[in-house]
Amino acid sequence: MREVSYENLLSRGYVLKRIRDLILDNINIYDITEPYVPEITVLLGPTGVGKTTTVAKLAAENIKKGRRTGIITTDYFKAGAAEQIETLAKIMKIPYVSIRNSEDMERQIDEWSSAMDSILVDSVGKSPRDEMLSSGDVMAGCGKAAHRFLVVSASTKGSDLVRIMKQFDIFGYDSVICTKLEETYHIGNLISALAEANRSIAYITTGQKIHVNIEKASKERLLGYLEGFAAV
């Protein structure tokens, strides 16, 4: 780190800019590429973080791009989960199926391989403490080419975020999607957790509207949710 003059240290604007630059250096953005057709995107994560809504938002983005999209859900444990995603799929006029094992997953992906540009998989919502976390049987049917994203909420405290990120490592996820940024202006917990777990971030969601409230993550956009640094 280069030397800083005494005069600069007395400048609030200079100090804030230096802190801002250090924060930006610690944010790693995932490079979203789409090398496979169909592109298979799997959303993982604990309960209550908004996985199903995020699946719908990603589907809406695909529809805007004219991409043929199908949704697969494995979340048959949570009451109403299948009905929720089925309703959303019908509204968007895209196919939807519910499966229970890796063989059915492989079969469904193979069936859709020539009919879809994108397949979105809404996984079972689990607590990181759940012993079933280690199974991952159904997810194995998605294949090695799938993009796996861990969905977390911006309102989760930092120590819990780090623990969740580490405990979901068993699924080999590629990056993080952070939801509910509209609920907080204190995302230092998220930035710190990503740095500590050495993880990147791919998408953020900023509200409940399916067709508008999701976007690819960027350093500047994240900084806009960090109170006191947006305009530095």
For residue 12, name the pLDDT band (cuts at 50, 70, 90): low
Print the SS3 string covering 42-53: EEECCCCCCHHH
Q: Give the other-Cβ count within 10 Å of 214's Cβ.
A: 21
Q: What is the pLDDT of residue 200?
A: 96
DSSP H helices in 49-204 = 51-64, 81-92, 102-112, 137-140, 158-167, 188-196
pLDDT in tens, 102-137: 899 999 999 999 999 999 999 876 665 553 444 456
pLDDT in tens, 30-62: 987 765 568 999 999 988 899 999 999 999 999
Please tell me the total number of residues recorded for the chain in this structure: 232
The CA distance from 10 to 4, in Å, is: 10
Decide if pLDDT at 207 tops 80.
yes
pLDDT given at position 48:
87
- Cα 26 to chain centroid distance, Å, stands at 18
Instruction: Give CA–CA dist 158/128, Å, rounded.
Output: 15
Give the tens place of pLDDT for each residue, 165-192.
Answer: 998 988 889 999 999 998 887 788 999 9
In this prediction, residue 180 carries a pLDDT of 93
- Please say whether the beta carbons of 214 and 54 come within 8 A: yes
